[in-house]
Each structure stands twice: as C-alpha cells, then as structure tokens.
Amino acid sequence: MQHKVTVVGAGNVGATTAQRIAERELADVVMVDVAADLAAGKALDMMEAAPILGFNARITGGGGYAPTAGSDICVVTAGLARKPGMSRDDLLAKNTEILKEVVERLVEHSPETILIIVTNPLDAMCEVARRVSGFPRERVFGMAGVLDSARMRYFIATELNVSVEDVDAFVLGGHGDTMVPLPRYATVNGIPLPQLLSAAKIEAINDRTRNGGAEIVNYYKQGSAYYAPSAAVLDMVAAILHDKKKILPCAVLLQGEYGYDDLFVGVPAKLGRGGMEEVIQLSLTTEEKAALAKSAEAVKGLVQSLKV
Ligand code: TXD
C-alpha cells in the first residue's frame, strides 16, 4: 500500500476504523494500544479475513510506536468511553493525560502527519493535541460533525421514507449536548428540509440528533457507538488520502472565522491532501449564531480547565 494510517486505541472505534480502512484498501493500518495483545490479536484476526474478502492492505497491531513511523494520518481513539449517565466532560482529566502521551509519541515518529482526534471530550482533546504537537490547524482536527450529521441525515431519511443518499445535513458546534443542527441547510435531493417537514417534526429530529450518542449508550450499557463513528472517520481519511477536497463538518481551530479565535468548534471544512485546507463560512441567523455561541462557551469552559 502506498499510504499508512495509524490508529491509536484498538477498542471499538479504533478497531472498526482500522477494519474499514483496510477493507477498502485505502492504506496499510498500524494499530497501537496500551493493551498490546488486544491490538496484535485484532490485527491478526482482521488479516485472516483478507483472503476471504480479498483486500490487500496490511494491518498490524501492538503496543509500540516504532511501526507508526511515517504515517500519513494518525487517528487517535485512545481513552475511556462514556458509561451510562456519564457526560463527555467527565472524561476530561483522564483523557487529557492519555492524549498527551499518545500525541507526543506519534509526533516523534511522524512529524509530518495529520492528526484526526476522536477521543472525548472531543473539542478539548483537539486542543490538547494541538498544544502537544505544535501542529498548524491544517494538520490537527477532530471527528464529530460527520457523525452528528450522519445521524441527522438518517433521522430525516427515516421520517420522510426516502433514501439516505438523497439527504444532506449539517451539524455545527461542539460535540456535546450543545451541538447545533442546522435544518435550514439540510436538503433532500436539493429540496430544503423546511419545505418538506413541519417545524415540530424538524425540532424533534434536532433533539434526537443532539442525543444521538446517549441514545446508543443507553442501549449498549457498556461502551458507546462505534459503527457510525468509525464510518465517519473513514470518510475523513478517504477525503484526505484521495485529495477529494470534500466539505465535511469537523472540529477545527477557528482563527477569526464565525467570530471565534483560537477555539476548536465544529464547522464545515474542506479536506484534502493538505489536511484541513479551508474553513467554509456559512451565513447564520441570529438564533443559529446564539446557539453556536452557547456551544462555543461550553468548549471554552473545558479548554480553560485543561492542564497541558
Ligand atoms: O464523535 C466522536 N468524536 C466520538 C468519540 C464517537 C464515538 C466515541 N468517541 C470517543 O472515542 C469515546 O468517548 C472515547 O473517548 C473514544 C474511544 O471510544 P471506544 O468506544 O473505541 O472506546 P474503547 O472501546 O474503550 O477503546 C479505547 C481504547 C482501549 O482499547 C484502551 O486500551 C485504549 O483505548 N487506550 C490506550 N491506547 C493507547 N495508549 C493509551 N494511553 C491508552 N489508554 C487507553
């Protein structure tokens, strides 16, 4: 394979991401986990499926970082997942420590890599990764918006009984309870959503989207969502490796856009070989701006308490 992607954390999201990348032959994948045998075992198990599925990418796994050297992209999923009743923010202190260690090791071996952060609380972990790596914002950003938007798209498609392929939607803001679904920018094969659904139905979809993560946690009891999150990471990885210039909502360090400075906020961004190549500015109504401000405040509060 021409490309190499490292996935740190061989848990639910990490391993499923590795599997998706390899099965599509996007890159060779190196999985790293403190549970070294877990990473090694999952890698071997996945490779034993290769003759059946017929993919030629190589997946390896272990506890060391030497095999990650020269990675095009490093996806960080290492950390603790939410348990029922636990907020994403409760994870802050523990996952800050983990992120710090992981990013230091990654950057040591792949100084030119692009970091995609997945660990929660997402926006704060992006800031930890940025501080520790010293990378420009083009090479350190987070996955959340693609997942939140996919959930919204699914809920819209189900409500209207139309193909998911026809539905586009955007969710802005932090990856938390204050995320901002933007139904005004949602379309069904080009038709604006507000023309197809009542305001009450749209608000119900917004609510379900905001609680999409918790809905899955309540089913699983242990651990959180991973099929849709890993698909979301795959979308970002493919956009970068294939230089698609795809516009995807990501957690990006804003530098003046949307009126915010030096803060990670979920906004539409263009992803290509250079990583996060451009922040796309949408015009927002007064209410949408207020919702985004609330979300940004929540991220700011977390970032201020970071100890890195
Ligand atoms: O939208 C999003 N951004 C998210 C975020 C969607 C889904 C999951 N989200 C978060 O990702 C979740 O709240 C967690 O913080 C991470 C990973 O979720 P996952 O469900 O994959 O958690 P697991 O299955 O517990 O896996 C975490 C793995 C586990 O195997 C640990 O042994 C490993 O991380 N781990 C480490 N690996 C390397 N180095 C260190 N220090 C380390 N610590 C734990």
**How do the pLDDT tens digits run along the chain, 308 residues long?**
689 999 999 999 999 999 999 999 999 999 999 999 999 999 999 999 999 999 999 999 999 999 999 999 999 999 986 667 777 667 798 899 999 999 999 999 999 999 999 999 999 999 999 999 999 999 999 999 999 999 999 999 999 999 999 999 999 998 888 999 999 999 999 999 999 999 999 999 999 999 999 999 999 988 899 999 999 999 999 999 999 999 999 999 999 999 999 999 999 999 999 999 999 999 999 999 999 999 999 999 999 989 88
Atom of ligand 1 nearest to the CA of 14: 21
Q: What is the pLDDT at residue 85?
A: 74
Q: What is the pLDDT at residue 88?
A: 63
Question: How far is C-alpha 9 from the geometric centre of its chain's CA atoms?
Answer: 14
First-last CA distance in the chain: 36
The pick from 34, 149, 250 for probing ligand 1's pocket by mutation, whose C-beta has the most ligand atoms within 8 angstroms, reads 34
- The CB of 185 under 6 Å from ligand 1? The reply is no
Q: What is the pLDDT at residue 195?
A: 97
The pick from 38, 80, 148, 252 for probing ligand 1's pocket by mutation, whose C-beta has the most ligand atoms within 8 angstroms, reads 80
Tokens for 7, please give them: 């996935």
Q: What is the pLDDT at residue 91?
A: 79
> CB neighbours of 90 closer than 8 A, spacing ≥ 6?
82
Q: What is the pLDDT at residue 87?
A: 72
- The CB of 71 under 6 Å from ligand 1? The reply is no
Q: How far is the CA of 224 from the centre of ligand 1 (A)?
A: 9
Q: What is the pLDDT at residue 89?
A: 67
Measured CA angle at 180 (ends 175, 186), to 5 deg: 120
| pTM exceeding the 0.95 threshold for the entire prediction | yes
Q: Does the annotation mark 242 as catalytic?
A: no
- The CB of 50 under 6 Å from ligand 1? The reply is no
Q: What is the pLDDT at residue 30?
A: 98
